[in-house]
């Protein structure tokens, strides 16, 4: 087993202080070493079992445990909470490498960190951080992000799940009723909690939406059977229901009434992570197509020698490179404390489309073999469509970009 990763991180903001004008052609040593370590791990540990878990729709507990041992779940968190002392960009680099070979594993890490643990780190009290973050950063538990509902997907402001406070904010209880859907990491054996958005009253803007931590196993909290999905078959995804679920008042995460705004911040950050994952998928398709084009013979030569195939793969590489630069740029702005909402949307839009387009083209390069599940590109073809939907659809990203332009 590979040893844990420990790095002396230089500030990414210092390395990319002029990111608006130029992005360096080569990453600092710490980041390149991280990428190389995770790349080796992905090929040696993740890839050999990916097809089996995809075929069986089974959660890869042994892979997740190995990722935990490597320190991946703690990458962006301080050492005082059991983290690796890195930053969000380090997480993105790890996601990119994992997604080259298995998007299900990559999304388990992405959701576990950016959607499960990050809200606790960003908005939790010190007591909540001390209680939940060490095991989340260690990868021995997972947290989930309960936002989407049957009637509140892209329009998350239509949340209907409700919570009423019985008793005082100091020692009372929240009573929660409602339902969520499409929630990642919500039903594994190591899921510790789901943080849910719920209507907790009314304010001058309408609904008062807050976020509440609901531990797994709480009476009235039911996890539905797993979905039968097109892709991401080794990722854990469930619907959830809450029937008079009672949790302590202290389980309120962040300020009451700030839940919706806080989760929008989490989604902005998460779009950079999803963009990184998408770039990994796009690059994985390039790598597989190049390898196959050099090996496959047709009409007297390897198929990569035919201009039609060579140009198709060249376009795939161009998409991956452009998308990578987009998420690097968004990440640098975020870590520099500058506005990044529009850039995150651009990165997510560009990378998600690159992943889907490259998966389609790679499948075409493989011909009939590309339609066979034994080949990695077939899994990318099934997996990549969700990258244009999850954590904000393509249409939502276009809306955010347009708003950023003042339209």
Q: Has residue 15 got a pLDDT over 80?
A: no
Please provide the average confidence, as pLDDT, over all residues in the chain.
93
* Whether 12 contacts 87, CB under 8 Å: yes
Give all domains of the chain, ordered by start, each with its CATH number.
12-142 (1.10.540.10), 144-257 (2.40.110.10), 261-404 (1.20.140.10)
Six-digit token string for 398: 């276009």
Residue range 36-46, pLDDT digits in tens: 999 999 999 99
Q: Has residue 98 got a pLDDT over 90?
A: yes
Q: Give me the residues paired with residue 297 across strands.
A: 302
Task: Determine the distance from the C-alpha atom of residue 388 to the mean position of all C-alpha atoms in its chain, rounded to a whole number.
Answer: 13
When pLDDT is cut at 50, 70 and 90, the band that residue 65 belongs to is very high
- Tell me the HSE value of 319 on the side-chain side, using a 13 A CA sphere: 31
3-class SS at 133? helix
Looking at residue 142, what is its pLDDT? 98
Q: Give me the residues paired with residue 166 across strands.
A: 173
> Of 58-62, 79-83, 206-210, 344-348, which gets the smallest average pLDDT?
206-210
Whole-angstrom distance, CA of residue 53 vs CA of residue 99: 15
Residue range 212-252, pLDDT digits in tens: 999 999 999 999 999 999 999 999 999 999 999 999 999 99
Whole-angstrom distance, CA of residue 237 vs CA of residue 183: 5
When pLDDT is cut at 50, 70 and 90, the band that residue 301 belongs to is very high
Predicted model pTM: 0.93
Count of residues in the chain: 407
Sign of the dihedral defined by the CA atoms of residues 346, 352, 357, 362, in that order: positive
Residue range 359-377, pLDDT digits in tens: 999 999 999 999 999 899 9
In the predicted model, what is the mean pLDDT of residues 276-297?
A: 97
Residue 208 known to be catalytic: no
In the predicted model, what is the mean pLDDT of residues 148-173?
A: 88
Catalytic choice (62, 80, 391, 395): 391
Looking at residue 326, what is its pLDDT? 97
Whole-angstrom distance, CA of residue 73 vs CA of residue 372: 33
3-class SS at 31? helix
Pinpoint the alpha helices (H) of 296-388.
307-335, 341-366, 376-383
In the predicted model, what is the mean pLDDT of residues 52-66?
A: 98
Q: Has residue 13 got a pLDDT over 50?
A: no
Looking at residue 20, what is its pLDDT? 38
In the predicted model, what is the mean pLDDT of residues 114-136?
A: 97
Looking at residue 260, what is its pLDDT? 87
Whole-angstrom distance, CA of residue 236 vs CA of residue 51: 16
Looking at residue 25, what is its pLDDT? 55
To the nearest 10 degrees (0 to 180), the angle between helices 88-99 and 259-295 is: 40
When pLDDT is cut at 50, 70 and 90, the band that residue 19 belongs to is very low
Residue range 304-348, pLDDT digits in tens: 999 999 999 999 999 999 999 999 999 999 999 999 999 999 999
Q: Has residue 4 got a pLDDT over 60?
A: no
Share of the chain above pLDDT 90, in %: 86
When pLDDT is cut at 50, 70 and 90, the band that residue 1 belongs to is very low
> Of 145-154, 159-168, 211-220, 232-241, which gets the smallest average pLDDT?
145-154
């Amino acid at each position: 087993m590979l040893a844990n990763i420990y790095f002396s991180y230089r500030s990414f903001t210092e390395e990319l202080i002029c990111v608006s004008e130029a992005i360096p052609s080569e990453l600092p040593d710490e980041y390149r070493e991280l990428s190389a370590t995770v790349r080796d791990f992905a090929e040696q540990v993740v890839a050999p079992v990916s097809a089996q878990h995809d075929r069986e729709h089974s959660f890869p507990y042994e892979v997740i445990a190995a990722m935990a041992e490597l320190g991946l779940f703690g990458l962006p968190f301080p050492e005082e909470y059991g983290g690796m002392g890195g930053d969000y960009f380090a997480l993105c680099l790890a996601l990119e490498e994992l997604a080259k070979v298995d998007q299900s594993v990559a999304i388990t890490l992405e959701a576990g960190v950016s959607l499960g643990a990050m809200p606790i780190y960003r908005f939790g009290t010190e007591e909540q951080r001390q209680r939940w973050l060490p095991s989340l950063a260690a990868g021995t538990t997972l947290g989930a992000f309960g936002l989407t509902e049957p009637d509140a997907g892209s329009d998350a402001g239509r949340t209907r799940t409700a919570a009423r406070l019985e008793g005082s904010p100091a020692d009372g209880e929240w009573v929660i009723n409602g339902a969520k859907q499409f929630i990642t990491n919500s039903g594994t054996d190591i899921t510790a909690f789901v943080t849910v958005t719920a209507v907790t009253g009314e304010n001058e803007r309408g609904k008062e939406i807050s976020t509440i931590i609901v531990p797994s196993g709480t009476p009235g909290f039911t996890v539905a059977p797993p979905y039968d999905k097109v892709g991401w078959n080794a990722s854990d995804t469930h619907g959830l229901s809450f029937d008079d679920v009672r949790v302590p008042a202290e389980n309120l995460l962040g300020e009451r009434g700030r839940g919706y705004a806080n989760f929008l911040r989490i989604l902005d950050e998460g779009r950079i992570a999803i963009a990184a994952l998408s770039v990994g998928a796009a690059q994985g398709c390039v790598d597989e197509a190049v390898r196959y084009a050099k090996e496959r013979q047709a009409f007297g030569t390897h198929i990569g020698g035919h201009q039609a195939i060579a140009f198709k793969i060249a376009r795939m590489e161009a998409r991956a490179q452009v998308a990578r630069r987009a998420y690097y740029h968004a990440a640098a702005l975020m870590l520099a404390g500058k506005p990044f909402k529009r850039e995150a949307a651009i990165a997510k839009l560009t990378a998600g489309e690159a992943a889907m387009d490259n998966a389609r083209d790679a499948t075409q390069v493989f011909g009939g073999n590309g339609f066979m599940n034994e080949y990695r590109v077939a899994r990318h073809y099934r997996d990549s469509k969700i990258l244009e939907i999850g954590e904000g659809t393509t249409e939502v990203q276009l809306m955010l970009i347009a708003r950023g332009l003042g339209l």
